[in-house]
Amino acid sequence: MKAIRFSVLALAALVAAACLPVQTKAPIGQSVGYHPDPALLGVWKGHGEDSGNEDSGNKEGDKDGIIVFLKDGEDGMTAILCGPDGGGEWEAFAVHAAKLGGRTYMSVREQVKDGKPVDDEDAKHEIALAYRIANGRLVMTLLDEKATAAAIHAGKIKGEVESGGTGDVRITADAAAQDAFFATQEGAALFGAKLLTMRKLD
């Protein structure tokens, strides 16, 4: 199993996953249309859930990374990820944001790594995230793998779960069915795995 490219940004300690986060066949929000979120645009600094805590042995801010959200056309955005000093590896992701059931979501897909287009299997994956912005803070959360797998097994939403305790989970529902599900409280509750906490820079 592959790790999502977010994990390459070690300086930011974004994700340390043994397998891909939950993937979706259709980008989340596709059925309702995308709109660049003005509140997202700009420069954000922060870290992953395991960075800067006592257990990790790092002081707060030691592994902070940078995400820059830029408007890209009428309905999209580009997110550029890099380390705190602008050195080392960097990546660019296509981002589409939408609102479902009064909640904000985004779908991200890797496009560029260190200045080169990405054309491997990872570039085909759509990763759904929920996000919220309050008091100058951005919190992004991933779908919880176990909860999503349980929802798939229960027939709540169409998907595939690989065998084994760490098997990849993929939602295969069409865009309309997927968005209708995530517009509900039950669907929104599946986003429970915190990915990043960021603060906006002036």
Predicted pLDDT of residue 117: 84
3-state secondary structure of 65: strand
Q: Quick one: tokens of 99? A: 């609102």
Predicted pLDDT of residue 83: 74
What is the pTM (predicted TM-score) of this model?
0.82
pLDDT tens digit string along 132-175? 999 999 999 999 999 999 999 999 999 999 886 667 899 999 99
d(CA 138, CA 142): 14
d(CA 32, CA 100): 8
Every domain of the chain and the residues it spans: 5-197
Spacing of C-alpha 128 from chain mean position: 6
Q: Which residues of the chain have pLDDT under 50?
A: 1-18, 51-62
